[in-house]
Amino acid sequence: MIFNRLFSSLVFVAFLWNPAFAQSSKKALKYMVATANPVASQVGYDILSRGGNAIDAMVGVQLMLNLVEPQSSGIGGGAFLLFYDAKRKEVTSFDGRETAPLKAKGDLFLKEDGGPLKFFEGVVGGRSVGTPGTLKLLEVTHKNFGSLPWRELMQPTIKLAEEGFRVSKRLAASVERDAKRLKTFPATKSYFFLDSDTPVPEGTLLRNPDFAKTLRLIAAEGSDPFYYGEIARDIVRTVQEAKGNPGKLSLADLRNYWVIERQPICHDYKQYQICGMGPPSSGALTIGQMLGMLSHFNLRDLSPNGLNFTHLFAEANQLAFKDRGLYMADSDYVDMPTEGLLDPEYLEMRSKLIDPSKASGNLSAGSPPKALSYQLSPDMSLEFPSTSHFAIVDAQGNAVSMTTTIENGFGSRLMTRGFLLNNELTDFSFRPEQNGRLIANRLEPGKRPRSSMSPTLVFNAKGELHMAVGSPGGSRIIPYVAKTLLGVLEWNMDIQDAINLPNLAKNFGTLDLEAETPAEQLKAELEQRGHKVSVRSLTSGIQGIVVSSGGLVGGADPRREGLVLGE
């Protein structure tokens, strides 16, 4: 059955949606979808309204995001999925993270003199491309949990790719901002520019027949052409022949790729259990550490916009990131003290390093139980803010929280078959070691780079699903999600109000405060407490759904183009 009713809705939404509409929470009784783009939200809503489940809607949403928000995610990238099966009352996670090519070595991002490349020297071109995992994740989870036919879920994106969609304000601005790099490769340049110098402006009707052709093949044959056949050959050719910066990806890498079903990382916060993605994501562990330390302070009596909370949050953020930088990486390759990092006694000890009246200075990583016996060197790998997140709850109570990415905006800037390829390998440390000590997040063949993506599910004291949330934003995803969780769980805020709270982050020494919010008024007082403060744009893309006895309440981040739909 084709989604006939959807297409008129798509046209309406694409032309008339106003970002200001996303600033009020949406309520529903049956099902809900919250994504970073109104067209993608409409696709997910339509699938749910036709009896599809959360996994069906996930497939449709991701493919549409690939088309209308190509700078952030797509089948050329990777994703982490948390899935709650309401019938079994089980939560599990699926790792669709990219892998390092088997021919890649730890010196991939080193110059001849042994020094690291500059970030964008590594990003632009084939060198940075890891084995994509998103499509395989969609296929594997749909086979196991989906209800509507695979082919049917492709149709909305195929049709819109052929007929064209209106370029959003955000996409147009992203193309203009990255114009120099997007012009590097002919296929990318021809798609995102009207002529040699004119980026596609907002409102342009943009068609992508190559992507439609790719999806028709995938609709008919599944992921095999992508990982074994003609699409795979085009991906490898594009990577290996990238002018000026070729990569190592091979057909063997694509053929050997698999999605890993992992146990989620779950931790308690007061009466709630919070579950997230474990290694190679650092998201659940670092959020768990932050909340674990903050649980030793009486946050409820503090203002979420106030000086004292901002100071405490920043200190917990900094301490957790010290442990993240030293210990966290792909646990299939690195012996990580996963349980020790969330040990309550350890976190209580770390919380005592937080002085409520002044910044603690340059603290070091701690020594959690079962920490590595050998010495590691800390890693400060960059993760630039791109990516996308969406949350879905269906009529049966199943839930999806999925964060999906091609890493930096527009990924490697390489385009083939109508989709962009990731630059995920630059999430590894550019140096394999420092001062004679190995770095946990060093590049190794087949390894998955560390991520900050933090898809999250929250359960109440009865074990019932209470919340699905996540965000894009590079390494700042972690504090973005943490502040939203605290808004809902600590201050009982409406999910939209929690999303709207000012963003702040102290990942690497400087306390970033979101410009044009109440947070920037705290700059002088925070500096008096010893913080180095920067006021800047902190563009999260938080999407969340809260489940209660009264129904579903959803929120979408007004900083992007998010939209919540439900019934």
* Residues 383-400 pLDDT 10s: 556 799 999 999 999 999
470 & 533 share domain: yes
Q: How far is CA 150 from CA 69, 210, 339, in A?
A: 22, 20, 38
88 & 226 share domain: yes
Predicted confidence (pLDDT) at residue 349 exceeds the cutoff of 50: yes
| CATH number (domain holding residue 467) | 1.10.246.130
pLDDT tens digits, residue range 184-205? 999 999 999 998 789 999 999 9
Q: How many separate domains does the chain show?
A: 2
pLDDT (0 to 100) of residue 211? 98
294 & 177 share domain: no
Q: Does residue 556 lie within any of the structural domains?
A: no
Catalytic residue among 387, 426, 456, 484: 387
pLDDT band at residue 484 under the 50/70/90 scheme: very high
pLDDT tens digits, residue range 164-180? 999 999 999 999 999 99
Predicted confidence (pLDDT) at residue 2 exceeds the cutoff of 50: no
Q: What is the DSSP letter of 443?
A: -
Q: Does residue 120 lie within any of the structural domains?
A: yes
Q: Does residue 10 lie within any of the structural domains?
A: no
pLDDT (0 to 100) of residue 7? 37
pLDDT (0 to 100) of residue 361? 83
pLDDT (0 to 100) of residue 529? 97
Sheet holding 260-262, edge to edge: 260-262, 90-96, 78-85, 399-405, 388-393, 32-35, 563-566
Non-local (6+) Cβ contacts of 216 within 8 A are 154, 158
Q: Does residue 16 lie within any of the structural domains?
A: no
pLDDT band at residue 381 under the 50/70/90 scheme: low
Least confident range of 16-25, 100-109, 182-191, 282-291: 16-25
Rounded Cα gap, residues 175 and 188, in angstroms: 11
pLDDT band at residue 373 under the 50/70/90 scheme: very low
398 & 460 share domain: no
122 & 70 share domain: yes
Tokens (6 digits) for 386: 């791109």
403 & 370 share domain: no
pLDDT tens digits, residue range 527-536? 999 999 999 9
pLDDT tens digits, residue range 240-264? 999 999 999 999 999 999 999 999 9
Q: Does residue 557 lie within any of the structural domains?
A: no
Domain limits for position 473 = 262-383+451-551
252 & 271 share domain: no
pTM: 0.94
Predicted confidence (pLDDT) at residue 18 exceeds the cutoff of 70: no
467 & 486 share domain: yes
Q: Does residue 558 lie within any of the structural domains?
A: no
| Mean confidence (pLDDT) of the chain | 93
Annotated active-site residue 456? The verdict is no
Q: Does residue 517 lie within any of the structural domains?
A: yes
61 & 121 share domain: yes
Q: Does residue 63 lie within any of the structural domains?
A: yes
pLDDT (0 to 100) of residue 363? 86
316 & 434 share domain: no
351 & 399 share domain: no
98 & 213 share domain: yes
Non-local (6+) Cβ contacts of 193 within 8 A are 175, 179, 182, 183, 199, 200
